[in-house]
Amino acid sequence: MSKLRIHPHLRIPALAVLALAGLCALYPAPSQARTIHLIETGSTLLYPLFNLWVPIYTATHPGIRITTEATGSGTGIAQATADLVQLGASDAYLSPALQRLHPGLLNIPLAISSQMVNYNLPGLNDRPLHLSGSVLAAIYAGQIRYWNAPAIRALNPGLTLPHHLILPIHRSDGSGDTFIFTQYLSFSTPAWMMTTGYGTTVSWPSVRGEIGATGNPGMVQALATNPYAIAYIGVSYRSAILKDHLGQAWLKNRAGRFVSLTHSTVEAAVASRAPHTPPDQSISLVFAPGAQSYPIINYEYAIVKEHQASRHMAQAVRQLLDWAIAPTGGNAPSFLNRVGFAPLPKLAVLQSRRQIAKIH
Partner 1 sequence: MWFRRLLAFFALLVPLVLLGIAVFLVFYAWPAIHYNGLDFLWRDTWNIGNQYANPVQRHGETVMPGAQFGILFLVAGTLGSALIALLFAFPLGLGAALFLSEAVPHRFGHFVSFFVELLAGIPSVVFGLWGIVFLIPFLSHHVFPVLARLFHFVPFLTRPIGSGYGLLTSSLVLCLMIVPFITATLRDALRSQSTEMREAGISLGATRFEVATRILLPGQKTALAGATMLAFGRALGETMAVLMVSGNALNYLPHNIYSPISTMAAFIVAQLDSALADPTGMAVRSLAEIAVLLLVISLITNGIARLLIGMLKEHTL
List of residues contacting partner 1 (CB under 8 A): 71-75, 77-78, 92, 95-98, 100-101, 165, 167, 172-175, 197-204, 206, 208-214, 218, 221-222, 225-226, 229
CB 188 within 8 A of CB 132: yes
> Closest approach of Cβ 213 to partner 1, in Å?
7
Where does the chain show beta strands of DSSP type E?
Answer: 36-42, 64-70, 87-90, 105-119, 130-131, 167-171, 211-213, 229-234, 247-248, 250-252, 258-259, 297-305
For partner 1, the closer of residues 173 and 280 by Cβ is 173
> Closest approach of Cβ 59 to partner 1, in Å?
32
> Closest approach of Cβ 202 to partner 1, in Å?
8
For partner 1, the closer of residues 73 and 134 by Cβ is 73
> Closest approach of Cβ 167 to partner 1, in Å?
6
For partner 1, the closer of residues 119 and 250 by Cβ is 119
For partner 1, the closer of residues 144 and 213 by Cβ is 213
CA atoms within 13 A of residue 254's CA, in its CB half-sphere:
18
3-26 core/surface letters (b: 16 or more CB in 10 A; e: else): eeeeeeeeeeeeeeeeeeeeeeee
Give the separation between CA 217 and CA 78, rounded to whole angstroms. 24
For partner 1, the closer of residues 66 and 94 by Cβ is 94
Task: Give strand pairing partners of 233.
Answer: 116
For partner 1, the closer of residues 33 and 97 by Cβ is 97
Helices (H) and strands (E) in the chain, counts: 14, 12
Element (H or E) spanning 306, and its range?
none
> Closest approach of Cβ 121 to partner 1, in Å?
15
> Closest approach of Cβ 300 to partner 1, in Å?
16
Query: How far is CA 246 from each of CA 84, 145, 163, 242, rounded to the nearest angstrom?
Result: 40, 20, 19, 6
